[in-house]
Amino acid sequence: MEKQWLKSNKLTLTFILLGAIIFLFIIVPLFRMIFASDPGILRETLFDPEVTKAILLTLWAALIATGIGFVLGVPLAYLLARYEFRGKKIVEGLIDVPIVVPHTAAGIALLFVFGRNFFMGSAFNSVGIQFVDSTAGIVVAMLFVSIPFLIDSAKEGFKKVDVRLEKVARTLGASSWQTFFRISFPLAWRSILSGNIMMWARGISEFGAVIILAYHPMIAPTLIYERFETYGLTYSRPVAVLLILISLIIFVVLRTLVQRGKQR
């Protein structure tokens, strides 16, 4: 309430106008495409086995990436929220790098490390996991581009948990593990969940890094690209609409639910 102090003066009106332009620029393409779609064709597309397979693969691969990110990213987020050390800013900067590394270049870098003939690729290959043109490759690409969102969100969540709550728990007899699982984690849970949702959605969105590692099996963004290249806009549109709807549902709906819960 405190925030609503400005009267609707010229500044506010100008800003509303400018802000509306960029807001419309974001939502009009998405909603116009969704609402211009023929529901019949959409339904048909949904039952196209190639489409179904691609979408399920996308959701599944992104979910695995999110799971791996959760197990490895949450501990890192906790450390970054609680400790100060030399070079922390640099570590934090590097963690955000995947957001801004050009996607195809990221794909090349991952291929270079995880490809059959290289380094870790050959190590994994010896235990039967290979990354080129496989689901594992898709997961790795998705994990790489989407992990910063989970780490950043979980870190903010842990930062909001007063360290003195943990201190009190310790004095009451809780070990550092008990303190983490009974106090820190439950209290940061909503931020961690938001981060997971964001990470999952971001994984689904990836294209550039994935096609370098694995054009096949085909994920939905690749399928859209292939249909666009082969048949043109009209045939790629229904798949795009479906995928946008799925992203919107995962992102806006789940996130809104999480935030609504936050306000009790």
Partner 1 sequence: MIRVRNLWVDLGEFVLKDANIDINHGEYFVILGPTGAGKTVLLESIAGLYPLKEGRIWLNDEEVTKLEPEKRGISIVYQDQMLFPHLSVKDNITFGLRIRKMKPAEIERTLSWLAGLLGIQHLLSRKPDTLSGGEKQKVALARALSVKPRLLLLDEPLSALDPNSREILQRELRSIHEEYRVTTVHVTHDFEEAIALADRVAVIGDGCVQQIGTPEQIFRQPGSEFVARFAMVRNIFRGEVVEGEDGDARFRVDGVNLSVVTGHRGQYHASLRPEDIIVSHAPFPSSARNSFVGRITGIADKGSTLLLTVKVPPDFVCLITRNSFDAMALSIGDTVYLTFKASAVNIF
CB 24 within 8 A of CB 189: no
Find the part of the chain contacting partner 1 (CB under 8 A) among 27-35, 36-44, 140-148, 171-179. Answer: 171-179
Is 160 one of the binding residues for partner 1 (CB under 8 A)? no
**String of b and e for 82-102 (b: at least 16 CB within 10 Å)?**
eeeeeeeeeeeeebeebeebe
Q: Which is nearer to partner 1, 40 or 173 (CB)?
A: 173
Which entry of a copy of itself, partner 1, none binds 86, CB below 5 to 8 A by partner kind? none
Q: Which is nearer to partner 1, 66 or 184 (CB)?
A: 184
Residues 6 or more apart whose CB falls under 8 angstroms from that of 192 comprise: 70, 74, 77, 150, 153, 154, 157, 185
CB 111 within 8 A of CB 214: no
- The CA-atom distances, in angstroms, between 36 and each of 29, 209, 228, 237, 238 are 10, 30, 18, 10, 10
Site for partner 1 in 173-202 (CB under 8 A): 173-175, 178, 182-183, 186-187
Indicate the residue type of 210: V
Token couple for 175 = 């070990």
Indicate the residue type of 132: V
Which entry of partner 1, a copy of itself, none binds 165, CB below 5 to 8 A by partner kind? partner 1
Residue 93 CB, shortest distance to partner 1, in Å, is 23
Which entry of a copy of itself, partner 1, none binds 143, CB below 5 to 8 A by partner kind? a copy of itself
Q: Which is nearer to a copy of itself, 43 or 262 (CB)?
A: 262
Q: Which is nearer to a copy of itself, 111 or 193 (CB)?
A: 111
User: 64 burial class (0-12, 13-18, 19+ CB within 10 angstroms)?
Assistant: middle
Is 88 one of the binding residues for partner 1 (CB under 8 A)? no
Is 5 one of the binding residues for partner 1 (CB under 8 A)? yes
Which entry of partner 1, a copy of itself, none binds 101, CB below 5 to 8 A by partner kind? a copy of itself
Which entry of partner 1, a copy of itself, none binds 233, CB below 5 to 8 A by partner kind? a copy of itself
Residue 264 CB, shortest distance to partner 1, in Å, is 9
CA atoms 240, 246, 249, 251: torsion sign: negative
Residue with tokens 């809104």: 256
Q: Which one among 20, 56, 165, 249 touches partner 1, defined by CB under 8 A?
A: 165
